[in-house]
Amino acid sequence: MPKSRPKHLDLTKIRFPVMAIVSGMHRISGAVLFLFLPLLLWLWQESLASQQSFEAFRSVVSYPLMKVVLLGLFWGYLHHLCAGLRHLALDLHLGTELAAARASSMVVLVVSIGLTALVGGVLW
């Protein structure tokens, strides 16, 4: 008897566990940081080249849209860092039990969002 399996997966209807969400966000944040690397390197160059270029850097960073982009990149960096440390611990067979893995995933989310809120408070 043939099994009636779905022809495609509807990812909007699947309820992912928190560990899968953190892992997926780790990959997405790494890709976004890679794609925005030219912008970050240009901003760094502008901040270090001269006094005039530093003033240009400050004027670019003062735009609210740029602050939102930078805040998103800070979150991406902090989430990628925290999730990377979690993955490193998992590679060392630390916290591989289900309860510990769920707890560490929640810690990654809380810490990365909390640190981003602190950076956002300083940035704004």
Residues of the chain with confidence (pLDDT) below 50: none
pTM: 0.82
Helix, strand and coil content of the chain, in percent to the nearest 5, comes to: 75, 0, 25
The domain 19-123: what is its CATH number? 1.20.1300.10
Residue-level pLDDT at 124: 79
* Whole-number Å distance between alpha carbons of 81 and 109: 11
At 33-52, the pLDDT tens digits run 999 999 899 889 988 999 99
Structure tokens at 52: 């005039």
Residue-level pLDDT at 1: 67
